[in-house]
Structure 1
Amino acid sequence: MRRIRARSLFIVPASICLFSGNDIARAEDPPGAVQALPPIVVTGTKTGVKRGQTTGATRIARTVPRLVVYPTTPLSGPGSGIDPEKVPASVNVVDANQIKQAGSLNVSDALQKYVPGIVVNEVSGNPFQPNVQFRGFVASPVAGTPQGLAVYQNGVRINEAFGDTVNWDLIPTAAIKSVTVVTNNPAFGLNALGGAIDMQMKDGFAYQGAEIDTMGGSFGRIQSSAQWGKQVDHFAVYGALEGLHDDGFRNFSPSDVRRFYGDVGYRNDGNEFHLNMGAADNRFGATATAPVELLQQFWGATFTTPQITNNRVGYVNLTGKVEATPSWTIEGVAHLRVFDQKTEDGNPTGTQPCTTDPTLLCFGNGSTPANGLNGAQLANPFDPSATLGEIDRTTTRSTTTGASLQATNTDQLFGHGNHFTVGTSFDSSVTHFSALPELGTIGPNFVVSGSGIFLGQSGNPVSIGPVALRTTNQYSGLYALDTFDVTNAFSITGGGRFNLADIKLEDQIGSALNGNASYTRFNPLIGGTYKITQGVSAYAGYSEANRAPTPLELGCADPARPCIVAAFLVSDPPLKQVVSRTVEAGLRGSSEVNIGTLGWKLGVFRADNTDDILAIPSPVLQGFGYFQNVGSTRRQGIEAEVNLKSSALQLYASYALVDARFLDALQVGSNSPFADANGHVQIVPGDRIPAIPRNRVKAGIDYSITDAFKIGGDALFVSSQYFVGDESNQAPRLPSYAVFNLHASYQIDKTMHIYARADNIFDNRYATYGTFFNTGTVPNFANGGAPFTDPRSISPARPRALYVGLKATF
């Protein structure tokens, strides 16, 4: 057993939440609903029904404060909230009405629409499994993507244990009350290098009534959601169901989504307890990138299928809040999550007839034996004219349990306002991972047909074969934060988090994958805010964050023994943890103007990573790769946003610049056409990091023509980006793109509401992600079997699509 004792500093996750759902105006509370509100009102909204709003039971606006909780479990209330003007970082909040306005069961669509620094790409080839990128850091469902964002649901971290992946398809979008994108706070622990995305869910205290929403349209899309909430005395219940089918615009890309979320709550005398649970069972045709030569002939083309993902999850959380004294609040959460994923992935193969004896199979070259499961060299049963491929199947099953406890105090300190938070957490995950490759042939439609012949340990050194691995992740931490009001205008915040991460790998077949790794670190935070005028404030802050290498990365980190990323693990040399140091500053403000409320913000940031981890493609074997520390990288930029809100008109516009670069000279393996004879490219300081567009521009408008009839539109521009694999910045970039969408709605009566949406109205053919592939592994069957000549492979975006829906609110 190889033991890795990397003693370094690391912060790990907690069941915490920086921004409370209470900071969003509860536009979904019924008249007369009983609700405990925090006593300090920072800002309010006008009561009553505004022009363009409906009058259904779940659509009445109420006066509530805007409070930020920093950080805490999901049940934040009196004593926990602080003024958002005292947060020394950028604050981005998307509420339930904005999520609904996006008209999608993908919460990522609302995030891309309303958060300046976020862009979404479909590296997986499926809209329900997107990469969400914020400031150049990614939360992705694709195993093998170096993750940089922590994602929380009701205070529970939902990055999956094995690869820190985020499966956005498992999140019940209709049940979301608010989403907050958090920056510059180490309290969010593990993997919050670029920040954290926190989702607060609805309950029967905040949502009462019933709603059924059904929509259908282009590419066979049909979806429906239903939600219901009710309060009886001190008890409340809430439930949401969602179902969706979409054929997809690409070959072999159907999607089926089934999700449930429920909550039972009790509230009395400032104390509150909830039991919430959820489940999902989804299946996707994840078609990934395709060669540009195929897409030029048919925009829905795919390459080497099947590529199928089945995701299932079940979870239960118990949360509680007790007001111990008028100034002390105790909150806690215990959670259990079971995640199960199965994938089928058709690929080219390194298996080929041996050079000296074509009746036998070799792997990686013409002389190294390709072995079966019994260790003996495989005979070659395939026709000499056949193109060989393989179907790689994986199974990942993770069980995660954890608990956290937090105390908040709001007593004055030396006669000044003070908000103190201290907490601790422990999370443990056990994952069983297995992988098995089946040889087959690739047909003229690029579909791999299995042969029933399974590939055993093969390669020199061993690069592929069956895998059975058990991993254990244990993360524990202690954090404290304090916000002190030096004056009525000036507040300072300080604190930090100390965490320990232990990761254990146990090979279930042999011993090559065995290993232990431990990481510790203390991450500090210091910052301040100053209220320049009643409507304008400034902020500045410095923080550190980090993540440990995941079990997936530790199991595939040897350049000499690359593996099919996320499938076949072969070695575990030590990787260093990544540490991010972030500084940001900005101005924000709001004011009343003649036609409504004008809000704006302008900020700058810089995040420097040391020992950053990158997925490196193998220069020798197509589809293989490994993980490597690549020295220091930097992501810096500007974020600007302005919005105008009135009873009849809503406008918003934003701009984000993200400049992401390597800071060290480095030679790495690459599948770039500009790689040298050994398959390497040379990174020099200042080269841009691939797949991170530099500029993002967003704008939108909603206008109420009458009280019942609304129209609107939005636009997105994303600038060019380098292809993944082009770390040396030598190849032409993936082109920029702009997409425009329209929507309209009409309130038929108090109950019925009809709406329509048109996406990509100009039918722009663009791609959101690009990489390279080996043009010699598979013939271009669409061109008579001639070789491919263009190594570019991209993820095409959805063409023009039209949708119509009907919503009933009771």
Structure 2
Amino acid sequence: MPANLPPPRRRAVPGGAALRLAPRRGALCRRAATAIALAVALLAALPAVAQQDNGVQIGDNATLPEVMVVATAPLPGIGVDRDLVPYTVQTVSGDDLNGKRAGTLAEYLARYLTGVNINDIQGSPFQSDLTYRGFRASPIPGASQGLSIYLDGIRVNEPFGDVVSWDMIPEAALESVSLVSSANPAYGLNTLGGALAMTTRSGLSSPGFTADLSYGSGNRKRADLSGGIRSGSGWHAFAAGTLFQEQGWRDHAEGRLGNLFVKAGHEGETTSWDVSLLHGRSTLIGNGLVPSYRASGNALLPGLYESNRAAAYTYPDKTRNQVTQVALNGRHWFDDKTSAAMLAYVRTSRRDTTNGDINPDYDTYTEDCEDGFTADGSPRKSRCGFTRAEGAALDPAVLNTTHMWQQSIGMALSAAKETEHHLLNAGLTFDRSRLTYSQYEQLATFTDDRGVVADPNAPNQLFSGVSGTSRAVGLYLSDTWSLTPSTFLTASARWNHVTVSNTLRNSDGSEQPQESFTYRRLNPALGLTQKLGGGVSVFGGYAQNNRVPTVLELGCADPAQPCRLPAGLQADPYLKQVVSHSYEAGARWRPSKDTEVSGTFYRIDNHDDILFLRAPNTQQGYFANFDRTRNQGFDLSARQRLGDFTLRLGYSYLQATYQANGQLAVGERTIDVKPGMRRAGVPRHTIKLGVDWQALAGLTLGADLVGVSSSPANGNEDGLRANPQPGKAPKYADWSTPGYATVNLRASYRVNKHFEIYARVANLFDRRYETYGQISNDLFPGNLLRPHVTPEDNASALFVAPGAPRSAWVGVVYRM
């Protein structure tokens, strides 16, 4: 057996999740009847949901020490001591993800994990635009995705755009979450900057019943219920559900969701299996960006954001999601050092959106009345008496609706073998997806607060659509080789073969000829870890991975037939696959269970990155390959326990830059990109400080601070803004979003073994801050009731994503 690897009788949680081993028990839970009743009640209340528990333990582990292991791939295998892998793995247990620490999974990751940030572009807690080392996992179609997301070994990046539906992750059922760094090829497609791997609970690991109920700011109500049972003969069952509803802190920002997760199976001495079902529905409002300061000549005039922090620019912006997933899992141990596992799943999702916006074909109004005179004697114009310009469109607004249906089926086989000096994990995956997408437009009018109401006399017309399929085959092998008792070589490789076929539909319903593209890639990785003694180890490695173009990107890849985001498919010429080259080196120091320090330097070069570029002589754009982008930086993490106090530190330095010349289409501007120019929405510095104090036997108090430096606004990467005078050169304007820091508090009190109460306060000092910025034209200058642009108003404005004000929640947890 490789030196310093855990004994073979252990279970590696798929997806790289950490696991603390505990003795296995066979007694029936005393609360079995209650847990069964809970599962039945949840099934009746919500459409069903579930996932799987992958892996099996052999024999009695009562004599084994507590070991922290991580998997080397998202499929079941034999785990490796996390100090031996040549990359960074940050792990979170399911107990840490409860409501007393943070409101949602994405919020928790942004507060506690080094290198993670959130751009609150949509303004909904379950529609977060999450970044890790500058790579995104976002629910926004058209965003350049660079992180792979797994739930119990199933990749949940949706086929259309690789988007992530955070609202469809069963947070109440999560047992562990691992964030794996680098372009690790074993984690498959889209792992350019890292992978987020989640595993769910089972009746074996979580017997009993738990209810977590909370209420607070924004009229937010949430209930997380879970219950599990297990028997002495190896049968087990688990159910968990979440109900969420809020009014939201912004105008027109209500949202609700419900999901249910159910798992049942059997664990024997050598074989285990389980079946799981996941179902969820949500209706969420994403208000998006709101105009802040706008340019008027050489002056900056305050915008809607300054007058109303909670305002929505235009609305509605509604997303309805629905997901149903069924999975079958099995694993067999041939002996203490050899196992095989299988996974099969079907996942179906729907996404329907409604978005009110300004009609792009609408000619702006002019004013025809005067109201007094200004100081220089010129007439002062009022905000009334609009007249339509000659040839103007009849309706100033448009109501966009989209309908998306996706289905993925897949299977996977994996095998693991441990020898004296090697730990081998291998796997084969097959995934096939089908999708249909349609976008419709209906002319509309604005209400007095910029709400969009469809014109009942206008038809709801097809704008664009696509149907397509994709097939992906992956084959990987990894080996952790103990060269000496203190030196470990990790080598892995994965071969990907992907075929994407699309058929585009025109606005008249006719179909374009089918296009089909095939992508192949062999991605290697090699790393070395050296243990130096005293709890110190150093590591370094190189890895490659790739991302194939999505249906959305292929459907808008012709400069002669440009489109506008988030949809508007026109043509699908060939795009190259994105290939990332990742270099990582660092050191870890873990002298005891109370002290952990790690530091990592990394560089990730993305070749043939896919960006949205400006089409010639238009205000629209298209997706195209961009020669090279680079994300490089340094991460530092530390944790120290001092008696009743636990201290945390996380610091990130990140340079996310373009490394080639080109032009980007951003809002109303074309950005001339030069090597070394920073990418938008990515702060250079992020610091996270935290403390937890066990003040009394049952009382825990905690606080954390998150500080973020400024970041370039999208459309202002070059430090310029558009000049309203035709033919004039752009003007200098540093419109980057400023840095900020927020302080959050939490407290929990364990009343007895059954009850716990808690409270959370976010943004304690009510700091006014913005997490993202984009340059565009404000067509409602001065909060006008209709789109209106005069020559002096026709200038750029900074649109921002407002951070939430001070908020507080209280909750109670009941366990039995």
State the TM-score bracket (shorter-chain normalisation).
Answer: 0.7 to 0.9
Correspondence for 1:609 among 591, 596, 606: 606
Matched residue, 2:9: none
Partner in structure 1 of residue 463 of structure 2: 466
1:134 aligns with 2:132: yes
Paired residue for 2:396, among 350, 364, 388? 388
1:180 aligns with 2:184: no
Q: 1:323 aligns with which of 319, 330, 333?
A: 333
- Give deviations 1:710-740, integer Å, cap 9, x for gaps: 1110110111111112343434211111110
Equivalent residue number for residue 53 of structure 1 = none
What is aligned with 1:688?
A: 678
Alignment partner of 2:805 out of 799, 803, 810? 799
- Distance across 1 between alignment mates of 2:559 and 2:800: 25
The offset of 1:162, in angstroms, is 0.9
Q: How far off its partner does 1:514 sit?
A: 3.2
Quote the residue 2:205 is aligned against. 206
Shift of 1:86: 1.6
Pairing 1:49-448 to 2, within 5 Å after superposition: 64-74=66-76, 76=77, 80-100=78-98, 103-184=101-182, 185-233=184-232, 234-292=234-292, 293-352=303-362, 388-412=396-420, 417-448=421-452
Instruction: Say if 1:599 and 1:444 are closer, same or farther in 2 by CA, change over 3 A.
Output: same
Matches within 5 A, 1:451-462: 451-452=455-456
**Kept in 2: contact 1:513–1:569 (CA 8 A):** no
Q: Secondary structure at the match of 2:108?
A: helix
What is the TM-score when the length of structure 2 is the normalising length? 0.84
TM-score (norm 1): 0.85
Moved more, 565-574 or 520-529: 565-574
Give the conservation status (yes or no) of the 8 Å contact 1:42–1:83.
Answer: no
Distance of aligned partners of 1:178 and 1:619 in 2 relative to their CA distance in 1, 3 Å threshold = farther
Q: How far apart, CA to CA, are the structure 2 residues paired with 1:628 and 1:456? A: 31
Q: In the superposition, relative to structure 1, how do residues 33 and 584 fare at CA in structure 2: closer, same or farther (>3 Å)?
A: farther
Match of 1:710 among 700, 705, 709: 700
Answer whether contact 1:28 1:207 (CA < 8 A) is retained.
no
Q: Pick which of 560-569 and 161-170 moved more.
A: 560-569
2:631 matched residue in structure 1: 635
Cα distance in 2 for residues equivalent to 1:617 and 1:127:
32
**Residues 780/421 of structure 1: CA separation in 2 closer, same or farther (3 Å cut):** same
Which residue in 1 is equivalent to 2:783?
Answer: 780
| Contiguous gaps of at least 5 residues in structure 1 | 1-15, 45-62, 356-379, 458-464
| 2:552 alignment partner, SS class | helix
1:759 aligned residue: 762
Q: Distance in 1 between matches of 2:756 and 2:111?
A: 23
| 1:441-497: CA deviation from partner (whole Å, max 9, x where unpaired) | 22331111111455799xxxxxxx522321101100111111110000001011200
- The alpha-carbon deviation at position 786 of structure 1 amounts to 7.3
- The separation in 2 between residues aligned to 1:300 and 1:618, in whole angstroms, is 35
Partner of 1:597: 594
Moved more, 309-318 or 789-798: 789-798
Partner of 2:34: none
- The one-letter amino acid paired with 2:640 is L
Structure 1 residues 469-480: aligned runs within 5 Å: 469-480=466-477
Are the equivalent residues in 2 in contact too, given 1:146–1:615 (CA < 8 A)?
no
Show the counterpart of 2:6. Answer: none
1:314-363 deviations in whole A, cap 9, x for unaligned? 101111110123322101100110010000011112223699xxxxxxxx
Residue 763 of structure 2 aligns with an amino acid whose one-letter code is: N
Change (3 A) 1:200 1:499: same
- The structural deviation recorded for 1:777 is 7.4
Cα offset for 1:778?
7.4
Structure 2 counterpart of 1:23, from 7, 19, 22 = 19
User: Aligned equivalents of 1:626 and 1:192: distance in 2?
Assistant: 24
Inter-partner Cα distance in structure 2 for 1:612 and 1:453: 44
Counterpart pick for 2:662 among 660, 663, 666 = 666
- RMSD of equivalent CA atoms: 2.9
Q: Aligned pair count?
A: 728
Larger mean CA deviation between 751-760 and 612-621 belongs to 612-621
Partner residue in 1 for 2:374: none
Structure 1 contact 342–394 (Cα < 8 Å) conserved: yes
Matched to 1:351, the amino acid is D
Q: Distance in 1 between matches of 2:671 and 2:711?
A: 18
Task: Report if the CA contact (8 A) 2:100-2:747 is conserved.
Answer: no
Q: Cα gap change, 1:182/1:31 in structure 2, threshold over 3 Å: closer, same or farther?
A: farther
- Rounded to whole Å, the distance in 1 between the matches of 2:105 and 2:401 is 29
Hey, what does 2:4 align to over in structure 1? none
Distance in 1 (CA, whole Å) between partners of 2:617 and 2:13 is 45
Looking at structure 2, the residues matched to 784 and 493 of structure 1 have their Cα atoms a distance apart, in angstroms, of 60
One-letter amino acid of the structure 2 residue matched with residue 626 of structure 1: Y
Following the alignment from structure 1 to structure 2, what is the Cα–Cα distance between the partners of residues 606 and 718? 21
Distance 1:29 1:309 in 2: 44
When residues 503 and 584 of structure 1 are mapped into structure 2, their CA distance, relative to the original with a 3 A threshold, is same
Extract unaligned runs of 5+ from structure 2.
1-11, 31-54, 293-302, 366-387, 721-732
CA offsets per residue over residues 182-207 of structure 1, 9 Å max, x none? 12311111110001100011111110
CA contact under 8 A between 2:580 and 2:607: conserved in structure 1? Answer: yes
Aligned identity (percent) is 29
CA contact (8 A) 1:317 1:335 kept: yes
Question: Aligned partners of 2:361, 2:273: CA distance in 1, in Å?
Answer: 57
- Residues 294-324 of structure 1 show CA distances to partners (whole Å, capped at 9, x for unaligned) of 1100000111211100011010111111012
Aligned to 1:295, the other structure's residue is in SS state helix
Deviation at 1:629, TM superposition (A): 1.5
Contact (CA 8 Å) 2:465, 2:569: kept in 1 or not?
A: no
- 1:633 and 1:336 map into 2 onto residues whose CA distance is 35
- What code does the residue aligned with 2:217 have? S
Instruction: Return the alpha-carbon distance in structure 2 between the equivalents of residues 20 and 791 of structure 1.
Output: 44
Shift of 1:40: 12
* Cα 1:578/1:332, change in 2 over 3 Å: same
User: Cα offset for 1:24?
Assistant: 4.0
**Equivalent residue, structure 2, for 1:735:** 738
Given the superposition, is the C-alpha separation of residues 747 and 619 from structure 1 closer, same or farther in structure 2, using an over 3 Å criterion? farther
Instruction: Measure how far apart 1:507 and its partner are.
Output: 2.8
Give the partner amino acid of 2:518. Answer: S
The Cα offsets for residues 528-564 of structure 1, whole Å up to 9 and x where unpaired, read as 1011114111111100011000001000122343323
For 1:793, give the aligned amino acid.
F
